[in-house]
Amino acid sequence: MTDALSRTDEPRAPSIVWITNPDNYDPRRHLLLQKEGSDRVNLFERNGLPVRVVHSGDLVPAWSGGAPRLYLDEEDLLDGGHAFLLSDWTWDAGIGRHVQAITRTIRAAGRVLLNDGIRDAESLGSDKLAMCHTAAALGIPVPPTVAVPFGRYARRVLTVVDRELGPGPYVVKPRAMAMGFGVLKTEGPEQLTAAVDLLAPAALGAVVQPFQENDGDVRVYVHRGKAVAVMLRRPKAGSYLANVSEGGSGASFEGDDRVRTLSERLAAGVDADYLCVDWLLTRGGPVFNEWMTVSAAYEDLPEPDRSRVAAALVTYVRDRIAAGS
C-alpha cells in the first residue's frame, strides 16, 4: 500500500508530497509492498503530477515566524505550493500522535490534504465507529458495533457485547487501521475476553462486531457521485479476511445494484467526490464495513475497471489541487 514507498530526493518544484509510515511494516514486508506504491507514483507522474515521497519520521511540524511550518531538514515543505497525501493509519500510538501533528499543521497552513476530501475528516477518515454512526444516520445497513474501553476498564465491554451482539462468533478490530491489520475472529466469550486482554495494553482502541457469514466483500469506487467500478474480494481457502494484501483475490463484480446505490448515497452524505466503500455480502443483503479515500487500492481490478478508476483518481487529485482545498 501507500506506506510501502521509500524516501526520494526530488527537485523542489511544486508536487504531491506523499508522507509515508514504513515503520508500520516489517522491513521484509515493506520491500514486497513497494511495487504497488510505485505503480501509484508512476500513475500520477505519467499524468503530469510529480511526486515526492518522504518518511513521516523525517518531518518536524512547528509554528514559527508567524506561520505553520513543516520542516524536512532545512526545508519548509509548506513553502513550496505542494499538495499533500498522508498515510495516516498506524498501529503505533507514538507515530499516530506525530501524524496527527503533521495533519493539523498542513490544515492550519491551508494546504491541500488529498486524503481529506470528506466531511469531518478528523473523525471520519479512519474511525470505524464514527463511520458506522454516520452511515446509519444516512439509512445505510451497518453491523452492531461496540467500542472497547481503555486499559483496566476494557473488560466492561463484555457485558455489553453479550447483551447486544449475542454469544458470538465475533470480529475484533482496531478502530483506525487498514489492510486487515489486527482483525481477529473469536468464536465465543472466552476467546473474546482473551482478545480484549491482549488488545487493551496496546492502546490502539478497538471495536467488536458480530462475525457475519458472507460471500466475500465488495469495494465500490464512487467518483463525482457515481459508482465507476465494483470489485469483489474473496478470502483464500480457510481464511476469513478478503483483503487482497492478506491473500484474498479480486475480480470485477456485476451483481447487487444496492451496493452501488448505497455507496453513492454515502459519498453524497459525507461530501466526498471520491470515495471507496467496502461492503460485506451477507445472506440478508449488503452490510457496510468501512470506507477509504485516495489511499484505497485499485491496482487489483481487471481492465477496463482498473483504467476507469485510475482516471477517476487522477481527475480527483487534479480537481483538488486546482481548487486549492
Question: What is the residue extent of each domain of the chain?
Answer: 2-108, 121-141+213-323, 146-210
Summarize pLDDT for 161-179 with one digit per residue, the tens: 999 999 989 999 998 887 7
Summarize pLDDT for 19-76 with one digit per residue, the tens: 988 888 777 766 666 666 688 889 999 999 999 999 999 999 999 999 999 999 999 9
**DSSP β-bridge partners for residue 71:** 60, 76
CB-based contact 207:145 (threshold 8 Å): yes
Q: Concatenated DSSP letters for 131-186?
A: HHHHHHHTT------EEPPPGGGGGGHHHHHHHHH-S--EEEEETT--TTTT-EEE
CB-based contact 117:320 (threshold 8 Å): yes
Rounded Cα–Cα distance for residues 176 and 204 (Å): 8
CB-based contact 114:83 (threshold 8 Å): yes
Q: How many CB atoms lie under 10 A from the CB of residue 174? A: 22
**DSSP β-bridge partners for residue 288:** 279
φ and ψ at residue 128, rounded to 5 degrees = -70, -30
Selected from 3.30.1490.20, 3.40.50.10860, 3.40.50.300, 3.40.50.1110, the CATH number assigned to the domain covering 146-210 reads 3.30.1490.20
Assigned fold of 121-141+213-323? D-amino Acid Aminotransferase; Chain A, domain 1 (3.30.470)
Query: Which CATH number is associated with domain 2-108?
Result: 3.40.50
pLDDT at 199 over 70: yes
**Angle at CA 234, nearest 5°, toward 230 and 237?**
170
Per the model's pLDDT, the better-predicted residue between 123 and 268 turns out to be 268
pLDDT at 153 over 70: yes
CB-based contact 168:188 (threshold 8 Å): yes
